[in-house]
A and B are shown apart, each in its own frame.
Chain A
Amino acid sequence: MQSEFKGFFNNLALGKLAFPNCKSCGAFHWYPMKYCPHCQSANIHWQPVGGIGRVYSWTVVRHSFNAVHTLPLPYVVALLEFEDAPNVRLITNLVDTAPESLTIGMKVEPILTGLNEGEPPVKVIFRKARVEII
């Protein structure tokens, strides 16, 4: 794994969703890069976010493209935006949410998951937000 990617997983392991943020210009970027792509500063830190996202778009995948790396079909891939992390769009899976009920702009909340029950999180998936946050 690229060294600049590791902060994401280190934060997940601590139960936090965080994105790279530049201390020089204050902007977020995604995917992680060596230098801030907005101002080329190397002074980047991982800024935790609240976790509530909004659906920018989604697709229901109904075909297995790779025999080895696939999820049980069908599954929902969503692209999310976060109010407290502009410039970031996160690819994730939406679970516990019927595809017919999906709408663009819908609020979703994170679920951090490990490879096995009780292990530290390595993935972040989302479901429809249970609590309306103002």
Chain B
Amino acid sequence: MEPTIAIVGVGETAPLRKSTKDVRELTLEASLSAIQDAGLQCSDIDGIITDAGIMPSTVPQDWMAAQLGISPNFTACLSYGGAGIVAAPMLAQYAIESGRATAVLFYFGVDWGSRADGPYAFHDMYPAKKTFEKPYGFNAQPCYFGLWTRRYMHEYGLTEDDLAEIAISQRANALLNGRGQMTTALDREGYYKSRLISDPLRAADCCLLSDGAGAYVMTSRKRAQDCRKTPVLVRGVGFGGVAVTGDDVFTQGKSLLISPAAAKASEFAQRAAGITLEDVDFAEIYDCFTISCLMQIEDLGFCAKGEAAAFIRERGITVGGRLPVNTHGGLLSYSYRLGIEHMVEAVRQLRGESGNAQVANARVGLVGGFSPPDYGVTILSR
């Protein structure tokens, strides 16, 4: 299918653990920067999309519209965090193709770096987690993914060295990028010195905590020609859910080690784009933990289940590797804004703006966003 829309502007605030600005100011700053990057005026924007779980109660669309002076003809919210951030072009495409909107802003921001309970309090919205898990101290994402890691080790023989490989590679990418929160190199010794948080996961296996925001602007392919920067084409978008609640997703279901939504979203996006994973030059994958990045490499279809550790070792996932993954350092070493930084980075790579962390001849990039059980995939190209 011929691409019909493009990303023409991206913006983000500086990667930071704690900001002196609140989440509304950060998100506004990123949105303005994306609109400016596109060479557009606020008055050009007539559609707004954000996630459906976090932004509606922190930076709602009506506030953003009023602040920017936008009278939208189209607004929508999708999933929560990662999957919504990445699959939002699916909705923008609908709005733009149907003539409901001509230029659509997507924004997302968090203050989980400075908020007392950070990301952990987010799961209080799930009644069964609150009732049946919290009293047993199963109350944070590192515990959930620690449990998955142990099971994965049992079923597929994964080792701590395999996890170290991901953390070390992404740190190397972050140092090349130079703007991320992590600024010191990580080697194997450093990985094993990193303290255990929830066995077998160490601090180095867990994403950062950040205050910050990002945004991107989409318009028709035709109109994109008149924008300030080289348009990045939206080649294919996939979104998938599963008949499992957010309460259940970390513990119930046939297998905890397969995310069927990721496979579904990836296949849909590839079909829509008319390209296969063999054509992908780099991937920005939702690396909330080393283990989840590894599992998504499988679920997206880059290799079979149980083979990601070998795949990563053989191909290499640093900027110079055969499949660069999280070229900015990812959620592990750049910032943790639930994947908006992944969309921004993919666009920068395809524009050739990634400096020392530029992937040579980057033509096609895949972005994967995970908000268990939902998954979003967008395939972008020059």
A-side residues, CB < 8 A to B, are 1-2, 5, 8, 30-32, 37, 56-63, 65-66, 69-71, 75, 77, 79, 87, 89-93, 99, 104, 123, 125
B167 CB, min distance to chain A CBs, angstroms:
17
B-side residues, CB < 8 A to A, are 117, 120, 127-128, 131-140, 142-143, 146-151, 154, 195-201, 243, 245, 247-248, 251-252, 256
Q: How far is the CA of A92 from the CA of B135 in the complex (A)?
A: 9
Excluding A1-B131, A31-B245, A59-B150, 4 further A-B contacts by CB distance (< 8 Å) are A2-B127, A59-B200, A61-B197, A71-B136
Indicate whether A58 sits within 8 Å of B150 (C-beta atoms), given known contacts A5-B127, A63-B197, A63-B198. Answer: yes
Decide if A77 touches B138 in the complex (CB within 8 Å): yes
Q: How far is the CA of A69 from the CA of B134 in the complex (A)?
A: 7
* Contact count A vs B, C-beta below 8 Å: 100
Q: How far is the CA of A19 from the CA of B251 in the complex (A)?
A: 15
Q: How far is the CA of A93 from the CA of B142 in the complex (A)?
A: 16
Decide if A62 touches B154 in the complex (CB within 8 Å): no
Decide if A62 touches B196 in the complex (CB within 8 Å): yes
Residues of chain A within 8 A of B137, CB atoms compared: 61, 69-71, 75, 77, 93
Residues of chain B within 8 A of A99, CB atoms compared: 199
Residues of chain A within 8 A of B200, CB atoms compared: 59
Q: Which of A60, A93, A123 contacts B199 (CB 8 A)?
A: A60
Decide if A89 touches B251 in the complex (CB within 8 Å): yes
A38 CB, min distance to chain B CBs, angstroms:
10
In the complex, the 9 A-B pairs of residues with the closest C-beta atoms, listed nearest first: A59-B146, A31-B128, A65-B140, A57-B151, A60-B199, A71-B137, A104-B154, A63-B197, A57-B150
Residues of chain B within 8 A of A61, CB atoms compared: 137, 143, 146, 197-198
Considering the complex, give the chain B residue whose CB is closest to the CB of A61.
B198
Decide if B247 touches A79 in the complex (CB within 8 Å): no
Decide if A66 touches B140 in the complex (CB within 8 Å): yes
Q: Which of A1, A32, A56, A59 contacts B143 (CB 8 A)?
A: A59
Most buried by B among A59, A61, A62: A59
Decide if B147 touches A32 in the complex (CB within 8 Å): no
Q: How far is the CA of A37 from the CA of B248 in the complex (A)?
A: 12
Indicate whether A30 sits within 8 Å of B252 (C-beta atoms), given known contacts A60-B199, A77-B147, A123-B135. Answer: yes
Residues of chain A within 8 A of B133, CB atoms compared: 91
Residues of chain B within 8 A of A31, CB atoms compared: 128, 132, 245, 247-248, 252
Considering the complex, give the chain A residue whose CB is closest to the CB of B251.
A89
Q: How far is the CA of A5 from the CA of B138 in the complex (A)?
A: 18
Decide if B117 touches A91 in the complex (CB within 8 Å): no
Could you list 11 A-B pairs, sorted by A, with CB under 8 Å? A5-B131, A30-B248, A37-B243, A59-B150, A63-B198, A65-B142, A66-B139, A69-B135, A71-B137, A77-B136, A91-B133
Residues of chain A within 8 A of B143, CB atoms compared: 59, 61, 65, 77
A91 CB, min distance to chain B CBs, angstroms:
5
A113 CB, min distance to chain B CBs, angstroms:
11
Most buried by B among A37, A56, A66: A66
Decide if A57 touches B148 in the complex (CB within 8 Å): yes
Decide if A91 touches B136 in the complex (CB within 8 Å): yes
Residues of chain B within 8 A of A125, CB atoms compared: 136
Indicate whether A91 sits within 8 Å of B198 (C-beta atoms), given known contacts A5-B128, A57-B148, A104-B154. Answer: no
Q: How far is the CA of A117 from the CA of B125 in the complex (A)?
A: 32
Q: Which of A2, A58, A104 contacts B131 (CB 8 A)?
A: A2
Decide if B135 touches A59 in the complex (CB within 8 Å): no
A34 CB, min distance to chain B CBs, angstroms:
12
Residues of chain B within 8 A of A57, CB atoms compared: 147-148, 150-151, 154, 256
B121 CB, min distance to chain A CBs, angstroms:
8
Decide if B134 touches A62 in the complex (CB within 8 Å): no
Residues of chain A within 8 A of B196, CB atoms compared: 60, 62
Decide if A89 touches B252 in the complex (CB within 8 Å): yes
Q: Which of B148, B154, B251 contacts A91 (CB 8 A)?
A: B251
A12 CB, min distance to chain B CBs, angstroms:
11
Q: How far is the CA of A79 from the CA of B154 in the complex (A)?
A: 14
Decide if A63 touches B142 in the complex (CB within 8 Å): yes
Considering the complex, give the chain A residue whose CB is closest to the CB of B148.
A57
B125 CB, min distance to chain A CBs, angstroms:
13
B290 CB, min distance to chain A CBs, angstroms:
15
